[in-house]
A and B are shown apart, each in its own frame.
Chain A
Amino acid sequence: METTALLIFIAVSALATFATRVLPFVALSRHADHPLILHLGRYLPPAVMMILVIYALRDFRPLSEEHLNMTPNGWPVIIASLTVVALHLWRRNALLSIVAGTGLYMLMVQLGPVDVSFTAALAPVFIRGKAGGEKFGYSK
């Protein structure tokens, strides 16, 4: 993709993101105290966070060919997630929870019984679009 097209892509993405942040300020400033707004403002953010967790874990498959699936979309992702939960409940330290969980996951993925085809599919595992990860060029 040439530079101009990429810059247009970035501009569109930036404008769409800014729109979500600025819209309430331009459209609803007069209704800030409406009970429905307060109700949604209170309950929607936690619901969205939880949905994002489910979304991030959606590729989890417990079994592959009747064995425990130890490839990146198998038990490593659950073990790492539970580690994050346990660490965060224990120490309440975002740094520790995120770094330790991610480190553990990387360790399991890189040292574990990794099927090459799964590795190729892993890169965009959380936000993967229709075509999957093959286009990410994890060929090396």
Chain B
Amino acid sequence: MQQGRDSLSPIAQWRYASLQTLPVMFGYLPLGAAFGILFMQLGHPWWMALVMSLFIYAGAGQFMAVTLLANHAGLLEVAVATFMLNSRHLFYGLSLLKRFKGAGWRKPYLIFALTDETYSLLTNQGQQEQGPEDHANAWRISLLNQLWWVLGTLAGAMAGALLDFDSRGIEFALTALFIVLTLEQASRLRQALPFVIALFTGLGALILLPEQNLLLGAIGAASLILLVHYLWAGRSRGSY
């Protein structure tokens, strides 16, 4: 599968990339549609949903944006809440610093399009090839993933505007996605540590913190515990 992809025709290269994005397509079409439908409940024009999926392009972030819009949140609140919710992306970039080096004109888009799912695909695929060929394939995967998201949004916005579609319960797709991603992470890592920390901080935040600070508190506390764990592990190794 890997050898000689340079010699493949453009059509074959896109075909190969779209096969890789197939699972994301099945996640993004219903999720994008769920977002489109939810957004239309606010009574804004349908193309605004499209603008959001084109320029924000973040699953959970856009769902939260719907909530913030409904609650008439201030712009500072929007900026802080969005940054905090998506702050997990900070750590995605870290592991791709080297991978994206030298990606040239593709690099800005590769960074912009770095969602949970794109990150999963890019880090899960074997890295037999490097350099331009890897960047080109990563770019195709990123672009296709956003295409699925935008198409889903469009379908949802249309359905929300035109049909009297009973969408109650569809937002569970987001919960299902997080569950699937957690299982994928667990099977990749095969270590209990981060999940124990997450249970501890997640349930702790649930009990102790008000709703709007819950996510930030839990993720912040988890980072802090991981920092302490790093220092502690480093001291027991005697490396500093």
A residues with a Cβ closer than 8 A to B are 1, 3, 6-25, 28-29, 32, 35-58, 72, 77, 80-81, 84-85, 88-89, 93-95, 97-99, 101-102, 105-110, 114, 119, 122-131, 135-138, 140
Nearest CB in chain B to that of A19: its residue: B83
A interface, by DSSP: helix, strand, loop or mixed? helix
Given A46-B189, A85-B183, A94-B26, residue A20 in contact with residue B230 (CB < 8 A): no
Nearest CB in chain A to that of B215: its residue: A55
User: Which B residues are CB-close (under 8 A) to A57?
Assistant: 175
User: Which B residues are CB-close (under 8 A) to A85?
Assistant: 179, 183
Q: Do A105 and B172 have beta carbons less than 8 Å apart?
A: yes
Q: Does B105 contact A (CB under 8 A)?
A: no
CA–CA, A38 to B96, complex, Å? 11
Q: Do B219 and A51 have beta carbons less than 8 Å apart?
A: yes
**Apart from A18-B111, A36-B227, A43-B226, 6 more pairs, CB < 8 Å:** A20-B89, A43-B197, A46-B195, A52-B181, A53-B182, A94-B26
Given A21-B112, A39-B226, A126-B63, residue A98 in contact with residue B180 (CB < 8 A): yes
Q: Do B27 and A10 have beta carbons less than 8 Å apart?
A: no
Q: Do B69 and A124 have beta carbons less than 8 Å apart?
A: no
Q: Do A102 and B97 have beta carbons less than 8 Å apart?
A: no
- How many Å from the CB of B198 to the closest CB on chain A? 3
User: Which A residues are CB-close (under 8 A) to B171?
Assistant: 122-126
Q: Do A16 and B86 have beta carbons less than 8 Å apart?
A: yes
CA–CA, A47 to B108, complex, Å? 27
CA–CA, A13 to B171, complex, Å? 21
Q: Does B52 contact A (CB under 8 A)?
A: yes
Listed A/B pairs (12) with beta-carbon separation below 8 Å: A10-B48, A13-B78, A43-B226, A51-B202, A77-B172, A102-B176, A106-B168, A106-B169, A122-B171, A123-B171, A130-B212, A137-B43
User: Which B residues are CB-close (under 8 A) to A97?
Assistant: 176, 179-180
User: Which A residues are CB-close (under 8 A) to B90?
Assistant: 20, 23-24
Q: Do A22 and B168 have beta carbons less than 8 Å apart?
A: no
User: Which A residues are CB-close (under 8 A) to B175?
Assistant: 53, 56-57, 77, 80-81, 84, 101, 126
- How many Å from the CB of A53 to the closest CB on chain B? 5
- How many Å from the CB of B228 to the closest CB on chain A? 11
Most buried by B among A39, A51, A85, A99: A51
Nearest CB in chain A to that of B70: its residue: A135
User: Which B residues are CB-close (under 8 A) to A114?
Assistant: 168
Q: Do A21 and B91 have beta carbons less than 8 Å apart?
A: no
User: Which A residues are CB-close (under 8 A) to B162?
Assistant: none
- How many Å from the CB of A66 to the closest CB on chain B? 23
Given A16-B82, A22-B111, A41-B91, residue A54 in contact with residue B168 (CB < 8 A): no
